[in-house]
Structure 1
């Protein structure tokens, strides 16, 4: 887009399937004083690329701070071009809100599950402008803000994620900051943020009972929202149990409005609105000085953001939880599979993916189905003491690098038999999908691959991050495929069943 300030951004390598979106966006340009420049004029501008994580690959701080640029690692890459190495102020505030870095995708059926909504990951006013064209709706939800885990020892839990996963410590709250009851260590990698909290006082029965029942586990799946008060009010009016009403917190970095409701089991959802806040985490936390030497053991795994958060429910409870998300938060069904599609010799599951109207926040909900043996979903319920977060999927744009770096740090993953890759090569040979990654490396790293006629994904699952076989992490890379690896569920289940057999 070109303005009278000679600043522009343009997409290139755009598939024909995306032209409807670009045409819709082009209709908005005259209203905000922008135009589409000619290729001749564009060639005068130096090119400043951005990475697949949305970071500008430019030394100029003005460009790095811009919220103008979007990205789509799977298909559409964006280039910034500027005669003055400045972000375009007109486009950056197009219709009053900045664009967020998200992927531009059309509605399509992906995977062999049931696709229940379109895909177009944008937030802000431009997303609202094209929502009708893409079968989407505007939303107050802008993504996951952080995930808080209640653990027995917050310092040691954070150290595990730093040493094994390459996270960096960024914030702390404890006795030194005036917090007398709870200590919290916060770590970050890309836009993935985990907060680990433990009680300081021996008579903290709430956290103590949680620890006794669940062990280490997810307490709060926090979401970044544009209107905290509105989201909370609508949720409570719809029947949600409020835990903490909207309140404002301030420090030298700005202000944050947050509120909390109760979700399934003992899981909470905190809504965070932080339009003008630039602190390391939230008010009440202090930044961590210096750099942990463990961060530089190997290059960063380059995890980008939370792709989805999966919750396990007891048998026949899944639909009630899905209806809760629809009624309370206005979520919709995005994708689903049942026990006729996901089954091994011994176990099966049913799963529905819920998402907000803009399809930015995705929450798969699982329940077990009857089988010859206890399914991995039921095993989670038994060891966790009820419903809870089973796993968290972390997005990367280079899974070969990410998993190699994680393995060098000692991260442990589920193993996949050689027969899986023999079958994968045969299935890919019968399809039109071309996997860019070397399949020998995919097999060497034990990655799983699922695909359809629109693209593919690569994923891998870690072993549980605590002794109880409960919470684990997933690493996922998407190339035009927005499913959830249903083609790999059988291989995943069989791998977990081998672990279950070893556990007795």
Structure 2
């Protein structure tokens, strides 16, 4: 049951929520396909290989006659996803491209998984796809299992292509793909989640830091209590770790003050997708263009750029400390990769740069991350601490 690749990440938002508009206007995504019916609106947006699908269940859907309530027709209000009518805006679906969807679905059912939508065929003039939807064991997260090997349309059957629906962010650096997806998890749940993904989809542990241990990588001190555990699934068509599907599990450690994971669990109504990292080949240009277009980023701790040796560290890897401080971008050159190894970099220097947006919804839940890697495949402790503190400072002010 090998995952070929991550196809898209799906949102469920209320009618007329501004997420799709903001992704285009502020973050430079292109609206390239849409499906609009009397009952729902589904918009597909992309930058590079990073694809979001925004699902809006329209008010008219509540007025569907009862005669349709038990028919397949009602199930098609939202295609390629299970509409659970969640109470708040949420990112809840991760679509995996796979083969033999009927066989995989049967195997998952035999393992006790809940199939929200059984294997279903959908076709139009572009060809045919097969999909199913399985519920994960964590929060409201579900997975669409999709085989579109026999389809050549603009996106998926039922969607029509859209042209000219993007905003040109002048000078923006390229966003190429999703780097990782982070889940906010209840305390003590990470191992069970890891085991489920390993059993169901063949995911394996990915060590985020050279001090990562079997139970995860714990960071404590100064009111911070966080455990990160990560896994990845290297798709059959992918050869580089930077392009595989990485899932990061974040949970609070006990006896710490209320933090952003706790806030997410409270305001989201349970576990779910906390943030998605977009990989960019030039984070300075990307962040600058997004900020100019109205994107809001959290501010790093005031002392971050003045810490002993920080400016020198930034200069040693060829970056400008003043420029990074101007845009609030964090840099960490002490980064380990899988198993503590570091990927080779032609320049002989390994580091990564990161920045977080403010939450995209009214609740302090989902946000985006920009990340640029220069030879580094893991995550740096100092960046984790600083990013965590930046988000925490913002939420404390709220």
Q: Which residue of 2 aligns with 1:364?
A: 248
Pairwise CA distance, 1:209: 6.9
Residue 304 of structure 1: which of 173, 176, 180 is its match? 176
Q: Distance in 2 between matches of 1:259 and 1:408?
A: 40
CA apart distance, 1:297: 5.4
Return closer, same or farther for 1:160/1:426 CA change in 2, 3 Å cut-off.
Answer: closer
The offset of 1:366, in angstroms, is: 1.4
Give the CA RMSD over aligned residues: 2.7
Aligned counterpart, 2:167: 295
Q: Which of the residues 208, 230, 233 maps onto 1:353?
A: 230
Matched residue, 1:141: 3
Q: 2:131 — aligned with what? A: 258
8 A contact 2:334–2:380 mirrored in 1: no
Q: Report the equivalent of 1:384.
A: 268
Q: Distance in 2 between matches of 1:236 and 1:228?
A: 12
Deviation readout 1:80-107 (Å, 9 max, x if unpaired): xxxxxxxxxxxxxxxxxxxxxxxxxxxx
Deviation at 1:435, TM superposition (A): 1.8
Q: Classify the secondary structure of the residue corresponding to 2:167.
A: helix
Match of 2:365, SS?
coil
In the superposition, relative to structure 1, how do residues 297 and 310 fare at CA in structure 2: closer, same or farther (>3 Å)?
Answer: closer
Give deviations 1:325-357, integer Å, cap 9, x for gaps. Answer: 112222111125579842242231111112125
Q: CA deviation at 1:202?
A: 5.2
* CA–CA distance in structure 1, aligned partners of residues 109 and 291 of structure 2: 44
1:448 aligned to 312, 330, 352, which one?
A: 330
The gaps in structure 2 that reach 5 residues or longer are 64-68, 70-74, 76-81, 236-240, 336-341, 343-349
The 8 Å contact of residues 140 and 227 in structure 1, kept in 2 or not, is answered as no
CA distance in 1, matches of 2:33, 2:17: 12
Q: TM-score, normalised by structure 1?
A: 0.65
* 1:458 aligned to which of 345, 349, 353: 353
Corresponding residue of 1:192: 50
1:384-429 Cα distance to aligned partner (Å, 9 max, x none): 0000000000101111111111111111111113521233744865
SS at match of 1:223: strand
Match of residue 363 from structure 2: 468
Structure with the higher fraction of residues in strand conformation: 2
For residues 351 and 297 of structure 1, do their structure 2 counterparts lie closer, same or farther at Cα, with a shift above 3 Å needed?
A: closer
Any conservation in 1 of the 2:171–2:285 contact (CA below 8 Å)? no
Give the TM-score taking structure 2 as reference length: 0.81
Match of 2:141 in 1: 267
Q: 1:209 to 1:331 in 2, by over 3 A?
A: closer
For residue 249 of structure 1, the aligned residue among 119, 122, 128 is 122
How far apart, in 2, do the equivalents of 1:487 and 1:331 lie? 27
- The equivalent of 1:163 in structure 2 is 25
Q: Distance in 2 between matches of 1:425 and 1:254?
A: 58
The higher-RCO structure (CA 8 Å, 6+ apart) is 2
Relative distance call for 1:313 and 1:340 in structure 2 (3 A) is: closer
SS at match of 1:401: helix
Equivalents in 2 of 1:391, 1:413: separation in Å?
13
CA distance in 2, matches of 1:452, 1:300: 27
Q: How many residues align?
A: 355
For the residue of structure 1 that corresponds to 2:285, the secondary structure is helix
Could you say which residue in structure 1 is the equivalent of 2:306? 422
Highest Rg: 1 or 2?
1
